[in-house]
Amino acid sequence: MEKLIANFNYVIVVILMMIGLWAMLAQKNLIKKCIGMAIFQTGIILFFISIGAKNEAKVPILSKSVVENSSAIIVNDYGNPLTQILMLTAIVVGVATLGVGLALAQKIYQQHSSFDEDEILENQRK
């Protein structure tokens, strides 16, 4: 239990991803599927940020005075910048995917006047 509380951010990651996955696979509404996709990606972003975070860590930017004055830079004092940069890329990718998804959903709505998967399939069979 203590372990769970200490790692509550990972618990939230799992919950977010499960919500997202369920919405993508089980929901019939196309917009809800898109929302599920966004939630799923948010879960992954939180996961990456969590693995890069450290207790009481500073922003990983070294000022000139720090570099000149201290003999050694202690890595544990600074957060891991790589995960944040990776997630910047992943956010961009996520936005682009969401945009394409919504554009497709809009096109489908223009054709069938519905976002409901079952109704659309019914329409296509006619």
51's tokens: 């693995």
User: Which residue do the tokens 């993508």 mark?
Assistant: 24
Q: Which stretch binds other proteins (CB under 8 A): 1-9, 43-51, 54-62, 64-72?
A: 43-51
Q: Which stretch binds other proteins (CB under 8 A): 1-9, 54-62, 63-71, 78-86?
A: 78-86
Burial 94-109 (b: 16+ CB within 10 A, else e): beeeeeebeeebeebe
Based on the shown chain and the rule CB under 8 A, indicate whether residue 47 belongs to the binding site for other proteins: yes
- For residue 74, which of 49, 48, 56 has the smallest C-alpha distance? 56
Q: Which residues bind other proteins (CB under 8 A)?
A: 17, 21, 24, 30, 33, 37, 40-41, 44, 47-48, 51, 82-83, 86, 89-90, 93, 96-97, 100-101, 104-105, 107-108, 111, 120-121, 124
